[in-house]
Structure 1
Amino acid sequence: MSRRIDGDPLALGAVDAPVVLVEYADFRCPFCGVYARDTMPQLIQEYVDAGVVRMEWRDLPVFGDESVAAAVAARAAGEQGLFWEFGEVVFADAPERGHVALPRERLIEIAKQIGVPDMAVFEADLTDPELLRRVEADLAEARSLGATGTPTFLVNDTPLSGAQPISAFREAIDTELEQARN
């Protein structure tokens, strides 16, 4: 399911990394927040920075209209090179239980907070039908795989469901790296 698009604002790491970690997530998902705060930074340091893992984000907005709006807003920030920064702020505020409120006003505050350079373009992009289409395409892709909950991960073709401990990610990544070497 990896896309390996060079310059993809929703991806981190080398396009030719032997392992791709695809994350299907919702910006309002508390477990996605746990992964983003606790696990993802370690995986970036250990694997992405070493050039052996690429991370690719997919939207799986399952918690209503604010989830869809947040996904579009993150993509709007991504259009200006700040997708991951947007997500970092959203997930920093995420409660461990329940769903963070992300009305339009809060999405705009976050964009200002991370320094989106052209706020007029950002605000216009919040209603961009093409960005919404991309969110909906990710959602359709996730559903075609049977993913209904967040977060859901694919480590190459190995599925992981939920905010697993880092050891589960390391095991899956290391197994895929070993297979890539053989």
Structure 2
Amino acid sequence: MRAFRRLFLILALAAAPLGAGVAAVATPALAGDLPPVTAEDRVLGRADAPVTVVEYASFVCPHCAAWHKEVYPAFKARYIDTGKVKLVYRNLPTSPEDFAMTAAGIARCSRPERFFTVADSLFDGQPAFYAGSRTWLRDAVALSGRTEDEMKACFQDPATAARIDAEIAGASAAGVDGTPTFFVNGRRIADPSLDSLAAAVDAANRPGH
């Protein structure tokens, strides 16, 4: 994939001022349209957590970065850290695509146990990226647990692009056309606020759900 082939060129260049991401949308999707969680997914939380939250996001989407800054810490403390929820992160790259795909590749190629640390770095550093930072992607690579040669080999592996393409195709099948978008036990949540997600998780935890 072109974005992957350009990895080290992009890492070496300054990020020019570029466009914003896509806002969350409210189109309903059937639970059956959402691809099931597999061993290929990157998951945070207990494997046996009773509720699964799937997030489709882009590392260059400002709405996604805002969610991770303003909502994610409290959501993680209340639900993931307590074993009530496991969070599945899936990529839906947005414009600027080359940078979005490169960031997705860096996260994907990181050691699995480092994925969410790298994701945090990418979201936290996103404002600096839009301000022209030269270090946004390099900082993420430094946290990946991989050497530069390992990262390069992973980017050149067709399976890496294939996995991200599969996540994009899965998002399309589920009717996702904006980021961030969340599903709670397969049910799409139009409002990604803490109150809305909490209500959906609490409802999913009730007997009979």
Q: TM-score, length-normalised on structure 2?
A: 0.74
Distance 1:151 1:33, change over 3 A: same
1:128-147 matched pairs, under 5 angstroms = 128-147=157-176
Per-residue CA deviation, residues 120-157 of structure 1 (Å, 9 max, x unaligned), is: 20232223211111000000000011101000110112
Whole-Å Cα distance in 1 between the matches of residues 177 and 198 of structure 2?
24
* Map of 1:75 onto structure 2: 108
Would you say 1:110 and 2:143 are equivalent positions?
A: no
45, 50, 66: which one aligns with 1:34:
66
- Counterpart CA distance in 2 for 1:44 and 1:91 is 15
**SS of 1:95's equivalent?**
helix
Any stretches of 5+ residues in structure 1 without a counterpart?
none
Larger Rg: 2
**CA spacing shift, 1:106–1:34, aligned 2, 3 Å:** closer
**Which residue of the other structure, out of 88, 91, 105, is the alignment partner of 1:59?**
91
* Closer, same or farther: CA 3–44 of 1 in aligned 2, 3 Å: same
1:166 maps onto 2:198 in alignment: no
Matched ranges for 1:84-123 at <5 A: 84-95=116-127, 106-112=136-142, 114=143, 116-123=145-152
Percent identity between the two aligned chains: 28
- In structure 2, the CA distance between the partners of 1:74 and 1:169, relative to structure 1 (3 Å rule), is same
Query: Root-mean-square deviation (CA), in Å?
Result: 2.5
Structure 2: any 5+ residue segments left out of the alignment? Answer: 1-33
Amino acid at match of 1:175: A
Which residue matches 2:30?
Answer: none
Question: Aligned match of 1:124 in 153, 178, 181?
Answer: 153
Q: Higher RCO, 1 or 2 (CA under 8 Å, sep at least 6)? A: 2
The alignment covers a number of residue pairs equal to 174
Range with greater deviation from structure 2 (42-51 or 146-155): 42-51
Distance 1:70 1:178, change over 3 A: same
